[in-house]
Amino acid sequence: MLHQIFLQKLQNIENRFNELEELLLNPEIVSDIGKYQVLLKERGKLEKIVEDFREYKKLLKEKEDTESLLDESEDEELRNLAEAELEKLTKRIEELEFLLKSSLIPEDPNDERNIIMEIRAGTGGEEAALFAADLFRMYVGYAQRKGWKIDVVSSNPTGLGGFKEIIFLVEGKGAYSKLKFESGVHRVQRIPITESSGRIHTSTATVAVLPEMEEVEVEIDPKDLRIETFRSSGAGGQHVNKTESGVRITHIPTGIVVQCQDERSQHQNREKAMRVLRSRLYEYLKQEKEAEIASKRKAQVGSGERSEKIRTYNFPQRRVTDHRINYSSFQLEEVLSGELDEFIDRLILIEKEKQINKILEEVATAS
């Protein structure tokens, strides 16, 4: 059964839902379109939680009745039916308990945002660059499955088709909520195409995932920027070599440098570079704040996470292992084509469980 703290919170939500139902029938509220819309929106947010909570309470009563029947009945056939029903009820109750606890976890304000992803080749030379390209294609495949849009900001390709670095936008509802778990060091184990002796090499690439921030959310003083233009060397035919369409922006106070050269227009490149700069600056300030909090409590917070090895792609065994959740899949080709849900869904589930346990720990500490 749910902990008392969760039951109380859910009961408060149901009480508020009932109050909203009455308010929305009030003629004075109905005639005030603005207020009516605000209350209707609030009701919409609570409706699913209240439906689940009401079903949960109903099933608890059914479970209690079924257990009483089992205790009292001596009819074997009736007992078998009751045991089967009890098993079904218990399973659904457990599902609802998790859903209800999850609904009480504060939402990450960035979850619905578009994101900026940055992939950089790590150790392993040309093989690391090829692996970075594999990761880029994997995320493109995942985005296509979700109906999201990919827009490359800048890239530094190598002669063999790899990337020393590639930065791109992912635009789509809930992009950050799904892909925020991809930040960190990804490792590949395979025989590189440059290896003549058939020896397996280990190479790495780093992935950074930043929520895209709006202009009003991250204030940037134009005086703090140094903006330079240069002749683009990317795709686009002769045009890119004739005009200085590439843009490099330096945020002087932090030293953050962003450049974009993938568009033909200098204006478009500048706009993209500013989108990346806002997100990097947001992340910089966030980590600075976390480091300040960490130093006060003498613990490291936030910034070390990205340097940890999070996932290994082992080609000889066709195995992909996520080290954070100790989970492996033997569908390497499918994963690299963009079928990432089996990992992402598990990561989201475990993150929710951690947050639920944190709430319970805080309650236990307070009491």
Measured CA to CA, the distance from residue 185 to residue 310 in angstroms comes to 6
pLDDT of residue 239: 45
pTM of the model: 0.71
DSSP string over 266-301: HHHHHHHHHHHHHHHHHHHHHHHHHHHHHHHHT---
- Of residues 3 and 150, more confidence is placed in 150
Nearest alpha-carbon partner for 302 in 283, 324, 279: 283
- 323-349 burial, b at 16+ Cβ within 10 Å, e below that, comes to ebbeeebeebeebbbbbbeebbeebbe
Number of Cβ within 10 Å of residue 95's Cβ equals 12
Bridge-based pairing of strands 309-314 and 184-190 is parallel
Cα 178 to Cα 110, 116, 344, distances in angstroms: 11, 13, 6
First to last CA, the chain: 19
- Structural domains in the chain, sorted by start: 4-103 (1.20.58), 110-212+305-367 (3.30.70.1660), 218-301 (3.30.160.20)
pLDDT tens-place string over residues 322-352: 999 999 999 999 999 999 999 999 999 888 8
* 202-212: average pLDDT: 92
**What is the chain's mean pLDDT, rounded?**
86
- DSSP for residue 324: T
Answer whether residue 303 shows pLDDT above 60.
no
pLDDT interval class at 73 (50, 70, 90): confident
Residue 300 binned pLDDT confidence (cut-offs 50, 70, 90) = very low
Residue 243 has pLDDT above 80, yes or no: no
SS3 per residue for 214-243: CCCCCCCCHHHEEEEEECCCCCCCCHHHHC
Is 220 or 133 the better-scoring residue by pLDDT? Answer: 133
CA distances in angstroms from 151 to 146, 154, 174, 291, 337, listed in the order given: 15, 9, 17, 32, 18
Q: What integer pLDDT is reported at residue 77 of this predicted model? A: 86
Of the listed ranges 177-181, 340-344, 352-356, 363-367, the one predicted with least confidence: 363-367
pLDDT of residue 219: 78
pLDDT at 355: 86
The reported pLDDT for the residue numbered 238 is 42
pLDDT at 293: 54
Q: Look up residue 295 and give its two tokens.
A: 């130093």
Least confident residue range of 38-42, 48-52, 235-239: 235-239
pLDDT band with cut points at 50, 70 and 90 for residue 357:
confident
According to DSSP H, which parts of the chain are helical?
4-23, 27-31, 33-72, 76-103, 125-146, 175-179, 239-242, 266-297, 332-336, 341-366
Cα separation of 84 and 334, whole Å? Answer: 38
Portion of the chain with pLDDT greater than 90, in percent? 51
Query: Would you call 262 exposed, middle or buried from its count of C-beta atoms within 10 A (0-12, 13-18, 19+)?
Result: buried
